[in-house]
Amino acid sequence: MYYSYVLGVDNSIKELEQENFIIEQDQENYKVTFPKEKEKIWEEFISKHLKEGYWNEYLKESEVVFLFSLKEGIKKVVVKNYQDDEVLKLCEQLAETQFKSIKEMLKENEFYKDKMK
């Protein structure tokens, strides 16, 4: 299964439940779990619905996929071993804060803690 904590989308995300996505609302955000074979559907949804200036990441077996919604459009970056200085810098810029590392940034999220290797 793949996991994503989602900010910057509206409640149209609930439509994905028809595609066997598990969606749990967390105030204005969403905890999403989906099977590997639904990855393309997820990326298409995020590409259409993620507000500019936000990013979404989802955890896979051995990597994290980041989808950034920028003025130029969606930028996708696959990160292995939680190491990518460019991704870290972009996350810091969009969040207007500093993070120790990608791994630490993700571990701060309760939803990811027990899902990270």
Indicate the pTM of the whole model. 0.94
Single-letter amino acid, residue 29: N
User: pLDDT per residue over 34-82, tens digit each?
Assistant: 999 999 999 999 999 999 999 999 999 889 999 999 999 999 999 999 9
Task: Please report the DSSP string for 67-101 in residue order.
Answer: EEEETTEEEEEEEETT--HHHHHHHHHHHTS--S-
User: pLDDT per residue over 53-63, tens digit each?
Assistant: 999 999 998 89
